[in-house]
Structure 1
Amino acid sequence: MIKLATPRLAAACLALAAWLPLQSHAGILNDDEARKAILELRAKVDGIARDLNGRIDTKADKTVSLEMVNQHEQTMAEIAKLRGQLEVLSNEIVTAQKRQKDFYTDLDARIRKLEPRQVSIDGQEAAVAPDEQSTYEAAMATFKGGDYKTAATQLGAFVQRYPQSSYASNAQYWLGNAYYAQRDCKKAIVAQQVVATTYPDSAKAPDAMLNIGTCYAEMKDKKAATKALKDLIAKYPDSAAAQAAHDRLPGLK
């Protein structure tokens, strides 16, 4: 229990104040009466002190209880604040995880777009990158659309950019055809010769040599045309282009 000095001092003062009159009247009261009065006074002072201390203790208990209530409320407020922070942090973690998942999904999609894919070129399976496939197909779309000048530019650029592409021999072949469609046989012959010499294993090589012979024939160079067709028959005897060369040779005599 909490005892305060001030109330005790007040009680002591009260006792002293009561004792002094007794001393002044000591001559009037006899010893027994004085002792009795002192005992009664002491009993009253003790009672007053107990009452004061009881009130002080009660007040102190109430103060402690109030402090505990205040501390409890502060603690609950801190817990609520921490819960709010925890909820915010949890939401941030969920958002970060979603962003990370979206990032990896997007990255995977981008990687897949860059990964080579299997395509069939002249009946053979080949791996080509998506960008080279789209570039080649765009050039061929231009060629099929009849814009041979632009197609020649696109096909020439493709061969320079992707010399090792599985589409390279085809691009070179159609480049020769684009020149031929513009009636430029000299450039057409040069382009088709690249196919025959650089890509001899290509399915387009026999046709390229046939086109060379055709261009020489249109240029009225029968000697060069005959040689080109005979070279074709000798190199690719079982090809459809070789059979066409057989059919054309008599007309060059």
Structure 2
Amino acid sequence: MRRAMAAASLVALLLPAAMPAGAGVFDDTEARKEIMRIRDAYGQRLDRLEAGSQAQLELSNQLESMKSEIAKLRGQVEVLTYKLDSIEKRQKDFYVDLDNRLRQIETRAQPAAAKPVDPAAEARDYQAALDLLKAGKYAEAGEGFEKFTQAYPASSFLPSANFWAGSAWYQAREVARAGDYYRKVETQWPDDARAPDALLGLANSQQAMGDVKGARSSLEALVSRYPESSAAQMAKQRLGKK
């Protein structure tokens, strides 16, 4: 209705100008043709304008929808990042707590040392290296544990120190050095509680060095030797076993 009224108004305005000079009035047929031509031209222009407005409206709606989706995705990423950080922190706290418990057991079970050592210094040096690892200073922690193994070769903490040295060097991207320490744990102390995790760490180090065959061999050895360990369950998943 609005378009028809607008067209009629325009026709009324333009009709006198469309008459040839000196003419009186159009005959009825010519007038009708001219009116229809003007109305059609005006209607087509209105159609184009309305189509353009509709396209702009749809584009605006799409942009708003995309903004909303991006905001949702950003929120999901933040939640997942927080969860991952929490998992990593809990895992680190778990290993540190396990280490402290094992240290207590190893201390009680240790026989008399051939050479007298300062227990306070031994505990202090070990804890200093462990604190560096907890603080994320991986290269410094690796050096600290290496020095500890050299300074206290008969220490009951030796399996732990070698395991943490491997972990520190792996985090520092020194995967070859990490592999050496992990291998040392699983060969020299196969009955230690960390031996399964050491084999898993060795496989990770070998994988990082591109030794796919060696990594698979270590994973298979882990499943075979320590089938009930949590590390073995992870190895099974990587090997595609149930």
TM-score (norm 2): 0.51
Which amino acid in 2 is paired with 1:146?
G
Distance change (3 Å), C-alpha of 1:125 and 1:195: closer
Give the corresponding residue for 2:185.
195
Q: CA deviation at 1:163?
A: 2.1
Q: Is 1:170 aligned to residue 160 of structure 2?
A: yes
Q: Summarize the alignment of residues 1-150 of structure 1 with structure 2, pairs less than 5 Å apart.
A: 120-121=101-102, 124=105, 126-127=107-108, 129-150=119-140
Structure 1 residue 125: deviation in Å?
5.1
Residue matched to 2:229: 239
Describe how 1:208-247 pairs up with structure 2 within 5 A: 208-247=198-237
In structure 2, stretches of 5+ residues that fail to align are 1-99, 111-118
Structure 1 residue identity aligned to 2:149? V
Query: Which structure's CA Rg is the greater one?
Result: 1
Partner Cα separation in structure 2 for residue 219 and residue 149 of structure 1: 18
1:195-220 alpha-carbon deviations (Å, 9 max, x no partner): 11111121111100001111222233
Conserved in 2, the CA contact under 8 Å of 1:155 and 1:175? yes
Q: 1:125 to 1:216 in 2, by over 3 A?
A: closer
CA change 1:123–1:245 in 2 (3 A) is: farther
Name the CA shift for 1:191/1:229 in 2 (closer, same or farther; >3 Å): same
Q: Which amino acid aligns with 2:214?
A: A
The one-letter amino acid paired with 1:142 is: L
* SS class of match (1:126): helix
Backbone CA RMSD of aligned residues:
2.0
CA distance in 2, matches of 1:141, 1:216: 27
**Length-normalised TM-score, structure 1:** 0.49
Other-structure match for 2:143: 153
Are the aligned partners of 2:106 and 2:156 in contact in 1 as well (CA < 8 Å)?
A: no
* Structure 1 unaligned spans of 5+: 1-118
The answer for the alignment partner of 2:90 in structure 1 is none
Query: Is residue 240 of structure 2 the alignment partner of residue 250 of structure 1?
Result: yes
What percentage of residue pairs aligned between the two structures are identical? 35
1:248 to partner: Cα distance: 0.9
Aligned length: 133
Residue 196 of structure 2 is aligned to residue 206 of structure 1: yes
Shift of 1:222: 1.7
Relative to 1, partners in 2 of residues 1:125 and 1:172: Cα closer, same or farther, differing over 3 Å?
closer
Q: Separation in 1 of the partners of 2:172 and 2:132?
A: 14
